[in-house]
Amino acid sequence: MSEAPSVTKESYAVRLYEPELAEACDRFSQKVWPKSDDRDGGGASTRDTGAAPPRILFLKGDEVIGHVATVPVRLAVGGRLVNASWAVGLMVLPEHRNGPVAPLLMKKFNRAVEIGLTLHVEQSALRVFKGVGWRHLGVIPQYVRVLNARAFVTTFARRGCEVLSGRWSRLGTALARVSGPVAALVSFAFAGLSAIGAVRRRTAADATVEEERGFDTSYTKLAERVKDQLAVWVFRDEPYLTARYGRRMEAYRLLACRRQGQLLGYCLVKLRRFENDPRIGDIRMGTIVDCVFDPAESGVLDALLASAIALCRREGIDVVFCTASLRKLGQRLRCHAFVRMPATLNVAFHDRTGTIGENLPLDSWHLMRSDSDADANC
């Protein structure tokens, strides 16, 4: 195969991050994430050295024009722990988005990381991932439980009028006019679903759910106990949880289910009040971002979900969301009057080791909003 020196003047390169590129990375981050406190795009600090996770940069001369970072995790695959990395912060400067920057970044990523995972909503990103050999698992189901039907209906009717067009806009206008009766219907429907679901809910004998502030070794013991009961999931031991949530714990509420001190399961809920948000207007939203439970302990998951809903009610939350791939979790959410709604969070992976079976369905994976950086906007 013959090679020739470049005949063009610009000098491009795809490189792993090195400390000498820190200033160029900072300039890039300021351009693409100007309002973010964390300008690393979810990856390692630009100032990190030594064993920092790989970040891949696309350089034009001395300037960064494209970037993807890695977030290393340990993945439990059929109970076996393997190293993997989330691909986060895939970003290309707008003026270079029609070129091959993103695919070339991801090709380098494939060479740098043995098992890569991604959660993302953009179809353009999905095309790039699939184009460089990633397997698209599907879209993670999303569930909603309405607690305040009036707020829910008025918010979404008003937003519908503003953002929709044609007959959908007229429908939004009509809905806004009759929001009172519609809210009553929605409220009645969710109360009915809850009553039906209550028949199928189980109780966890002698177990109690209480709010906790941080993580201890019992979280590692729970992870060890359940790791081979889930086909594929990010292994959430104490160090992982502390690194993932520790710095930002004030944004989450941790509910733990214990029996005689033994941790049987936990969930993390993120509460947020939106004001004049372009997508969802003014609404108080709760999101169950993470949930780990011992599948052998009947009733634990029901106890956790009931406690999460009760917490959201106490905090005046209007609507609770949960994004969950695991079939069992979806089934239990429905018992708590959660309704499946259109979802957008795509999952894809790339495995050079062949550890993850090609035919494992998405509903056997345990993926939630807390995985990767997918809970940043909820």
Partner 1 sequence: MRTVEEIVSSVFGVERDTVDDNSSPASVEGWDSMGHVNLVAALEQAFNVSIDIDDVMEMGDVQKIKKILLAYGVRS
- From the list 24, 104, 289, 368, which residue makes contact with partner 1 (rule: CB under 8 A)? 104
- Is there binding between residue 133 and partner 1 (CB under 8 A)? no
Rounded to a whole number of angstroms, the minimum distance from the CB of residue 223 to partner 1 is 37
User: In the structure encoding, which two tokens stand for residue 316, read together?
Assistant: 């005046």
Q: Which of 54, 92, 90 is nearest to 72 (CA)?
A: 54
Residue 4 or 205: which CB sits closer to partner 1? Answer: 4
Determine the size of the site formed for partner 1 (CB under 8 A).
Answer: 27
Contacts of 17 (CB under 8 A, 6+ apart): 25, 44, 46, 52, 54, 55, 56, 57
- From the list 88, 128, 222, 322, which residue makes contact with partner 1 (rule: CB under 8 A)? 128
**CA distances in angstroms from 329 to 173, 292, 323, listed in the order given:** 36, 10, 10
Q: According to CB under 8 A, which residues from 12 to 31 bind partner 1?
A: 12-14
Residue 24 or 151: which CB sits closer to partner 1? Answer: 24
Q: According to CB under 8 A, which residues from 39 to 68 bind partner 1?
A: 60
332 in Cβ contact with 170 (< 8 Å):
no
- How far apart are the C-alpha atoms of 308 and 318, rounded to whole Å? 13
According to DSSP, the β-strands at 281-293 and 262-277 are antiparallel
- How far apart are the C-alpha atoms of 106 and 100, rounded to whole Å? 10
Residue 126 or 301: which CB sits closer to partner 1? Answer: 126
340 in Cβ contact with 329 (< 8 Å):
no
Residue 39 or 120: which CB sits closer to partner 1? Answer: 120
Interface region with partner 1, contact rule CB under 8 A, candidates 128-136, 252-260, 293-301, 360-368: 128-136
- Is there binding between residue 94 and partner 1 (CB under 8 A)? no
Q: What single DSSP character describes residue 52?
A: P
Interface region with partner 1, contact rule CB under 8 A, candidates 72-80, 92-100, 150-158, 219-227: 92-100
- Is there binding between residue 127 and partner 1 (CB under 8 A)? yes
- From the list 27, 47, 80, 97, which residue makes contact with partner 1 (rule: CB under 8 A)? 97
- Is there binding between residue 250 and partner 1 (CB under 8 A)? no
Residue 14 or 82: which CB sits closer to partner 1? Answer: 14
Rounded to a whole number of angstroms, the minimum distance from the CB of residue 5 to partner 1 is 7
Q: Three-state SS string across 86-104, please?
A: EEEEEEECHHHCCCCHHHH
- From the list 31, 74, 107, 259, which residue makes contact with partner 1 (rule: CB under 8 A)? 107
Residue 2 or 359: which CB sits closer to partner 1? Answer: 2
- How far apart are the C-alpha atoms of 152 and 96, rounded to whole Å? 40
What backbone phi and psi angles, to 5 degrees, belong to 110?
Answer: -60, -35
- How far apart are the C-alpha atoms of 316 and 322, rounded to whole Å? 17
- How far apart are the C-alpha atoms of 316 and 338, rounded to whole Å? 18
Residue 87 or 231: which CB sits closer to partner 1? Answer: 87
- Is there binding between residue 2 and partner 1 (CB under 8 A)? yes
Rounded to a whole number of angstroms, the minimum distance from the CB of residue 64 to partner 1 is 14
Residue tagged 């634990």 (tokens): 300
User: In the structure encoding, which two tokens stand for residue 70, read together?
Assistant: 């890695």
173 in Cβ contact with 154 (< 8 Å):
no
SS3 8: coil
Rounded to a whole number of angstroms, the minimum distance from the CB of residue 84 to partner 1 is 24
Interface region with partner 1, contact rule CB under 8 A, candidates 4-12, 224-232, 258-266, 280-288: 4-12
User: In the structure encoding, which two tokens stand for residue 153, read together?
Assistant: 């209906």
Rounded to a whole number of angstroms, the minimum distance from the CB of residue 34 to partner 1 is 23
Q: What does the binding site for partner 1 look like in residue numbers (CB under 8 A)?
A: 1-8, 10-14, 60, 97-104, 107, 127-128, 131-132
